[in-house]
């Protein structure tokens, strides 16, 4: 499929125009960043693994009624997606305490939460993606209350599905981040972006070995080995 002009470039992906109305080509780069862009590297093959893993997850979510932007994977690095206007909020779901939650509240790493915790962060690199409350979202009209409740419920459904999927292959879903947007086609809110080891914390169930982007953030070894392990356990291949 012929790529058109670049519409948007983020830290890990580029969006290009496509020949089809309201659809774009999402290209997965090998670039890795952490700590609000302070740590950067290019990790050969990362984009290919994330493209395949995210395709698998989003197409499975579609099958259980979680509408999302994925139309189809086109090649090893690219997907055809519905163009959305991204809602400027990162929705984070946590099952086990890790990362910023442990630092912010002093909760011990690895603590199992009594119920899944949803957090909201403003998507703004200059401000370091600050944590915001439901009140901020409503006050600044980023979403109305029905939309916010609906997205929060979608997040819980996504969490239930992903937890089961990963548990079945010996992986603990510690936490993850998702983004939603309004489809240009019909203005409906749908899941967008990606769900991959770049956006989840995934620990081996038996050893708690990290299989996600924390390998890069914390210099824990070879990131590709971790992502490849996730791909293999999910029964996927690169083709």
Instruction: Report the chain's C-alpha Rg in angstroms.
Output: 17
Q: How far is the CB of 71 from ligand 5GP (least distance, A)?
A: 22
213 lines the binding site for ligand 5GP (CB under 6 A): yes
Q: Which of 74, 191, 199, 210 binds ligand 5GP (CB under 6 A)?
A: 199
Among residue numbers 77 through 116, which ones bind ligand 5GP (CB under 6 A)?
90, 92, 99-101
d(CA 34, CA 56) in angstroms, rounded, equals 25
175 lines the binding site for ligand 5GP (CB under 6 A): yes
200 lines the binding site for ligand 5GP (CB under 6 A): yes
d(CA 89, CA 108) in angstroms, rounded, equals 26
How many residues interact with ligand 5GP (rule CB under 6 A)? 14
Q: Which of 78, 179, 198, 229 binds ligand 5GP (CB under 6 A)?
A: 198
* Structure token pair of residue 133: 């409350």
Among residue numbers 26 through 55, which ones bind ligand 5GP (CB under 6 A)?
none
Q: How far is the CB of 125 from ligand 5GP (least distance, A)?
A: 8
Taking each helix axis from N to C terminus, what angle separates 223-233 and 46-63, rounded to the nearest 10 degrees?
A: 30
Q: Which of 31, 129, 147, 204 binds ligand 5GP (CB under 6 A)?
A: 129
Q: How far is the CB of 76 from ligand 5GP (least distance, A)?
A: 20
When the beta carbons of 4 and 128 are compared against ligand 5GP, the nearer one is 128
Question: Torsion angle of alpha carbons 128, 80, 32, 100, nearest 10°?
Answer: 40
179 lines the binding site for ligand 5GP (CB under 6 A): no
Q: How far is the CB of 9 from ligand 5GP (least distance, A)?
A: 15
Q: Which residues bind ligand 5GP (CB under 6 A)?
A: 90, 92, 99-101, 129, 175-177, 198-201, 213
């Amino acid at each position: 499929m012929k790529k058109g002009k670049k519409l948007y470039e983020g830290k890990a992906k580029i969006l290009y125009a496509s020949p089809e109305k309201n659809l774009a080509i999402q290209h997965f780069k090998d670039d890795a960043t952490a700590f609000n862009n302070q740590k950067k590297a290019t990790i050969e093959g990362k984009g290919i693994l994330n493209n395949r893993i995210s395709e698998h997850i989003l197409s499975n979510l579609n099958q259980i009624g979680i509408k999302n932007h994925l139309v189809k994977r086109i090649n090893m690095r690219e997907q055809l997606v519905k163009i959305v206007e991204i809602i400027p909020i990162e929705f984070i779901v946590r099952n086990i305490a890790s990362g910023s939650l442990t630092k912010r509240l002093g909760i011990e790493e690895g603590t199992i939460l009594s119920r899944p915790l949803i957090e909201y962060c403003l998507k703004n690199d200059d401000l370091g993606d600050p944590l915001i409350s439901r009140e901020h979202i409503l006050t600044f009209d980023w979403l109305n209350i029905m939309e916010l409740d609906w997205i929060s419920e979608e997040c819980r459904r996504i969490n239930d599905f992903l937890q089961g999927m990963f548990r079945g292959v010996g992986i603990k879903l510690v936490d993850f981040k998702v983004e939603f947007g309004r489809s240009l086609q019909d203005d409906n809110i749908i899941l967008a972006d990606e769900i991959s080891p770049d956006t989840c914390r995934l620990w081996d169930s038996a050893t708690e070995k990290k299989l996600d982007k924390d390998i890069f953030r914390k210099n824990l070894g070879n990131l590709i080995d971790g992502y490849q392990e996730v791909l293999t356990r999910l029964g996927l291949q690169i083709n």
